[in-house]
Structures are given as C-alpha cells and as structure tokens.
Amino acid sequence: MKLRRHELKLTQTELAKVANLTPAAISQFESGARKPSFKTLSSLSDALKVTTDYLLGKADKSYDDLLADPKISAMFKGMMEFTEKDKETLYEFYEFLKMKAKKLSNTSNT
C-alpha cells in the first residue's frame, strides 16, 4: 500500500481524505499495526486505483498497468455497454478460460 501511495505521490493525509479514513489509520495499515476491514480495503483499492488482490499481495498489476494494454482497455470500454446478462456470460467465460489455463499449466509442470 505504501509503495502504491508513493507511486501516486500521495501523502498519508491525502490518501486518508480520498479513502474517507484518518491519517492515523493509514499509518497503522502501512506499519502492519492494524489490518483493514474488507470495506476499508475496498475504499483503499479505489483510492489507490488497484485491485483488492493487489493490496493483499495476490496480484502484481495495478489498474493503470492493466489499462495500459490497448486490448484490455478496449475490452473494458466495450463492456460498459453490456447488459447485466452479457456481463454474467462474460464472467462465466472468463472463469472457464482461467480454469483451462490452470489445467494446462498443471499438465505442463508434470
């Protein structure tokens, strides 16, 4: 979180204001003295323009990194016009591709 805050050139006070938190809370999260709730984590991810997985250390790319890819950026823009049903279908297809990639990865590692 601290690294991303520095990348965005934000102070703890500025991040706290954007995320609707106190500067003391930001300091405690960054030092590890306190863990954010899921709601707080969501606010922080929005303020820092990253996924919650990124903040949890499960992903290594920020939104900005992802949107720098022209294909991904075009897909996101196109999806804004999708119906909820279309979005659900797309998500199911994404889950299918993710599972397929995992299976391929597991077979190539054996």
103 is in which domain, residue-wise? 82-110
51 lies in the same domain as 88:
no
Angle (nearest 5°) at CA 2 between 42 and 10: 85
Strands (E), the chain: none
55 lies in the same domain as 22:
yes
pLDDT band with cut points at 50, 70 and 90 for residue 92: very high
Q: How many domains does the chain have?
A: 2
Asked, for residue 91, whether it belongs to a domain, the answer is yes
Instruction: Say yes or no to pLDDT of 59 above 80.
Output: no
22 lies in the same domain as 54:
yes
Asked, for residue 73, whether it belongs to a domain, the answer is no
What CATH number corresponds to the domain at position 11? 1.10.260.40
What is the model's pTM? Answer: 0.57
Question: Rounded CA gap, 11 and 2, in Å?
Answer: 10
Share of the chain above pLDDT 90, in %: 55
Share of the chain above pLDDT 70, in %: 95
User: Can you say whether residue 9 is alpha, beta or left, with left for phi > 0 and alpha for psi between -120 and 50 degrees?
Assistant: left
